[in-house]
Amino acid sequence: MTAISHRPYRFIPHPLHATLLASTVPLFLGALLSDLAYFRSYQIQWSNFSSWLIAGGLVFCGLALLFAIANLVRAEHRAGRPLAYFLLLLATWILGFVNALEHAKDAWATMPMGLILSAVVCLLACIATWLGLSGLRSGGEA
Amino acid sequence: MKPSNALALLSITLLLAACGDQDSQFDQPLGAQPQLPEPQRGLLPSMTIAEPTPWNDQVPAVPQGYRITAIASDLQIPRQTLVLPNGDILVAEGRGGGAPKLKPKDVIAGFIKSKGTTSVKSGNRLTLLRDADGDGSYELQTVFADGLNAPYGLALFEERLYVANQDELVRFDYQDGQTRASGPPTRVTLLPSEINHHWTKALTISPDGRYLYVGIGSNSNITERGMAAEVDRAMVWHIDAETGAHKPYATGLRNPTALAIQPGTGQLWAVANERDELGADLVPDYLTSVREGGFYGWPYSYWGQNVDPRVKPQDAEKVAAAIKPDYALGSHVAALGLAFSSEVMGEAFADGVFIGEHGSWNRKEPVGYKVVFVPFSGGRPSGPPVDFVTGFRSDDGKTRGRPVGVTIDPRGALIVADDLANVVWRVTRTQ
């Protein structure tokens, strides 16, 4: 309570925005774990799971990106967090898409690049979500 | 997932033009000692899907001294043909497969590839064509048998007509002159049909009629459906015609799409389609004599000992044992038809095999889409392939037809099934 009264400018993301954004974390994390499982076991089903999890992650990430653009356009101080958040999310999506193409290769052709990309994309999604949910317009007047 | 599919498809299509891997300047690997380039695979596989267009009044091109005519039309996906002793022609019609889509890629690639095939429904039947007066015009076109399941391979021995459906090998009783099967067929044996990624079941019969050979394609491009799906796949079966008892005759043939017995020697030959997504000029589809007990590499290696790194776990012993095929036909040409020629085709084309090449998709510059002749001497391939029937693609890059099965008519003709135009072509000599 006191926190809110001390920081009245703190932006709370739209619930839909927050949901979309937060969903990217378990999806891309799931893809990473599935890739790890395939890497260790050669069981192809893990690779199939990974492909779909990445596709799902891209859908949610893409929609969250639309909110991020809208925020950026509406922000009074575009530099700083809103921009960093937008760029991070954009990088997540682009690398995620490259990863989806990488995962469209057959069998072990996805390895090891698919695993590396999944780890990077997962990390980016976590940072972008952290930034996005911890106040997009801090320092601004909303 | 519909909207996301559409979005992904749009992105893929746009990107395909932009950053697919390039066809190299490398010549297509051909013949007994093909030069194989290094494997390569960009972020997107090269694809060129042939946009279908009707033949209208045009016909395929054949060498001077030959003529080509359509002897049947409005078929329901003709694949392989069989010339019966009285000159009648049987045409197997149908489309099989239906393997489940396991990855987003399967959904997208399946959609794109379907643009290059006929939209006609699977016939699941045999059509009989008859030219009673021998004038070259087949006036009778009638259904010989229907209710089959994607029939493909055909073989006849005396009064037994064998048909390889996508899930079982069956037998009809056949009397000379019959135009309709006298009853439902009898099962010889079930064939591997789980998933059926490569569903065509090629068929031929030993000269004494005792054994049948069935080609069974792999259940994936390169094990992306898992090794468990590959039990009893990518091999040729040897089947006792009487009892249906069967055993693997040769293994490691990724997709043996046509089989034929060499006249005189009784040797089994096959054309097989090799793996995709290793580049525009890899891996060559091939023509080979099939050694009993031989292993031809799939999935572990290609063209002998070239290890395919996409297969894990690998098997060094299998790689060491892999036999090099006899003759490379070029990569991605999709050889689907094989017939030994004879004197009736004229001196220049008497000794050798005709091969129907359905045509590529996994390549920017299309290859195949023609019937070639591979000359033989001393019972072995002896020179580069010669174009025999061409013109399946129009000058503006559209596709009028795609050849599949090829069959010699002892009366002096080559029969070519075209599964895009749903036509059967007949090539004869003009003098």
How buried is residue B145: exposed, middle or buried, by Cβ count under 10 Å (0-12/13-18/19+)? buried
Does residue B113 belong to the interface with chain A, where contact is any CB pair within 8 Å? no
Q: Are A52 and B225 inside 8 Å of each other by CB?
A: no
pLDDT surpassing 60 at residue B340: yes
Rounded Cα distance between B268 and B65, Å, is 31
Chain B: closest CA distance from residue A107 (Å): 4
Angle ∠(B215,B218,B224) on CA atoms, nearest 5:
175
Following DSSP, what letter does each residue of B305-362 receive, concatenated?
TEE-TTSSS--HHHHHHPPPPSEEEEET--EEEEEE--GGG-GGGSSEEEEEE---SS
Tell me, yes or no, whether A4 lies in a domain. Answer: no
Following DSSP, what letter does each residue of B177-245 receive, concatenated?
T-SS-SSPPEEEEE---SS-SS--EEEEE-TTSSEEEEEE--SSSSSTT-GGGGTT-SEEEEEETTT--
Tell me, yes or no, whether A5 lies in a domain. Answer: no
Q: Which residues of B301-327 are buried (b: 16+ CB within 10 A; e: fewer)?
A: bbbeebebebbeeeeeebbebbbbbbb
Stated pTM of the model: 0.90
- Name every residue whose Cβ is closer than 8 Å to that of residue A119 and which is 6 or more positions away in sequence: A32
Tell me, yes or no, whether B42 lies in a domain. Answer: no
- Which range, of B38-47, B331-340, B421-430, averages the lowest pLDDT? B38-47
Average pLDDT, chain B: 92
User: Residue A8: its pLDDT value, please?
Assistant: 39
Does residue A48 belong to the interface with chain B, where contact is any CB pair within 8 Å? yes
Q: Are B251 and B232 in contact (CB under 8 A)?
A: no
If you average pLDDT over residues B276-291, what whole number do you get? 95
Phi-psi region of A43 (alpha: psi -120 to 50; beta: other; left: phi over 0): beta
- Minimum-distance CB partner of B222 among A47, A52, A107: A107
Q: Are A29 and A122 in contact (CB under 8 A)?
A: yes
User: Residue B402: its pLDDT value, please?
Assistant: 96
What are B328's strand-pairing partners? Answer: B31, B286
Tell me, yes or no, whether A67 lies in a domain. Answer: yes
HEC assignment per residue over chain A: CHHHHHCCCCCCCCHHHHHHHHHHHHHHHHHHHHHHHHHHHCCHHHHHHHHHHHHHHHHHHHHHHHHHHHHHHHCCCCCCHHHHHHHHHHHHHHHHHHHHHHHCCCHHHHCCHHHHHHHHHHHHHHHHHHHHHCCCCCCCCC
If you average pLDDT over residues B69-93, what whole number do you get? 97
Ordered strands of the B413-418 beta sheet: B66-72, B423-429, B413-418, B403-409
Residue type, B374: V
Query: By residue range, what is the domain housing residue A39?
Result: 13-133
Q: Are B400 and B421 in contact (CB under 8 A)?
A: yes
Looking at beta carbons, which residues of chain A come within 8 Å of B7? 62
Q: Residue B29 — very low, low, confident or very high, per pLDDT cuts 50/70/90?
A: confident
* pLDDT, greater one: B51 or B373: B373
Whichever domain contains B261, its CATH number is: 2.120.10.30
Q: Are B354 and B301 in contact (CB under 8 A)?
A: no
Q: Are A48 and B102 inside 8 Å of each other by CB?
A: yes
Q: Are B224 and A97 inside 8 Å of each other by CB?
A: no
Q: Residue B3 — very low, low, confident or very high, per pLDDT cuts 50/70/90?
A: very low
Q: Are A58 and B4 inside 8 Å of each other by CB?
A: yes
Rounded Cα distance between A48 and A51, Å, is 5
Q: Which two tokens stand for residue B277?
A: 């997504």
Q: Are A58 and B310 inside 8 Å of each other by CB?
A: no
Tell me, yes or no, whether B105 lies in a domain. Answer: yes
Q: Residue B114 — very low, low, confident or very high, per pLDDT cuts 50/70/90?
A: confident
Tell me, yes or no, whether B39 lies in a domain. Answer: no
pLDDT surpassing 70 at residue B1: no
Total domains in the fold of chain B: 1
Q: Which two tokens stand for residue A108?
A: 């072990």
User: Residue B23: its pLDDT value, please?
Assistant: 52
Task: Indicate which of A99, A102, A106, A111 best probes the interface with B, i.e. most B CBs within 10 Å of its own CB.
Answer: A106
If you average pLDDT over residues B187-206, what whole number do you get? 97
pLDDT tens sequence across B238-255: 999 999 999 999 999 999
Best CA proximity match to B362, nearest among B278, B302, B253 = B278
Tell me, yes or no, whether B379 lies in a domain. Answer: yes
Total domains in the fold of chain A: 1
Q: Residue A11 — very low, low, confident or very high, per pLDDT cuts 50/70/90?
A: low
Tell me, yes or no, whether B179 lies in a domain. Answer: yes
DSSP tag of B13: H
Phi and psi, residue A82, nearest 5°: -60, -40
Q: Are B311 and A108 inside 8 Å of each other by CB?
A: yes
Query: By residue range, what is the domain housing residue B174?
Result: 64-429
Rounded Cα distance between B431 and B427, Å, is 12
pLDDT surpassing 60 at residue A6: no
Rounded Cα distance between B87 and B133, Å, is 11
* pLDDT, greater one: B44 or B86: B86
pLDDT surpassing 80 at residue B213: yes
Under DSSP, is residue B116 helix (H, G, I), strand (E, B) or coil? coil
Q: Are A2 and A45 in contact (CB under 8 A)?
A: no
- Name every residue whose Cβ is closer than 8 Å to that of residue B106 and which is 6 or more positions away in sequence: none
User: Residue B116: its pLDDT value, please?
Assistant: 82
Q: Which two tokens stand for residue A94?
A: 């682009």
Under DSSP, is residue B376 helix (H, G, I), strand (E, B) or coil? strand
Does residue A66 belong to the interface with chain B, where contact is any CB pair within 8 Å? no
Query: How big is the A-B interface in CB pairs under 8 Å?
Result: 65
Rounded Cα distance between B220 and A26, Å, is 30
Rounded Cα distance between B84 and B260, Å, is 16
Rounded Cα distance between B313 and B282, Å, is 22
Share of chain B above pLDDT 90, in %: 83
Tell me, yes or no, whether A127 lies in a domain. Answer: yes
Does residue B1 belong to the interface with chain A, where contact is any CB pair within 8 Å? yes
Tell me, yes or no, whether A60 lies in a domain. Answer: yes
pLDDT surpassing 80 at residue A141: no
Give the chain A residue nearest B102 (alpha carbons). A48
User: Residue B94: its pLDDT value, please?
Assistant: 96
- Which range, of B113-117, B253-257, B288-292, B364-368, averages the lowest pLDDT? B113-117
Q: Are A106 and B43 inside 8 Å of each other by CB?
A: no
Rounded Cα distance between B253 and B297, Å, is 7
Give the orientation angle of helix B2-19 with respect to helix B104-114, to 10 degrees: 70
For chain A, the residue count is: 142
- Name every residue whose Cβ is closer than 8 Å to that of residue B417 and which is 6 or more positions away in sequence: B78, B79, B80, B81, B91, B337, B356, B403, B404, B405, B406, B424, B425
User: Residue B98: its pLDDT value, please?
Assistant: 83
User: Residue A135: its pLDDT value, please?
Assistant: 66
Q: Residue A74 — very low, low, confident or very high, per pLDDT cuts 50/70/90?
A: confident
Rounded Cα distance between B89 and B159, Å, is 16
Share of chain B above pLDDT 70, in %: 94
- Minimum-distance CB partner of A109 among B104, B310, B313: B310
pLDDT surpassing 50 at residue B20: no
pLDDT surpassing 70 at residue B388: yes
Give the chain B residue nearest A110 (alpha carbons). B310
Tell me, yes or no, whether A116 lies in a domain. Answer: yes
Rounded Cα distance between B274 and B313, Å, is 20
Tell me, yes or no, whether B6 lies in a domain. Answer: no
Share of chain A above pLDDT 70, in %: 86
Q: Which two tokens stand for residue B390?
A: 């061409």
- Name every residue whose Cβ is closer than 8 Å to that of residue B240 and which is 6 or more positions away in sequence: B210, B211, B246
Looking at beta carbons, which residues of chain B come within 8 Å of A107? 220, 222-224, 310-312
pLDDT surpassing 70 at residue B332: yes
Chain A: closest CA distance from residue B311 (Å): 6
Chain A: closest CA distance from residue B221 (Å): 8
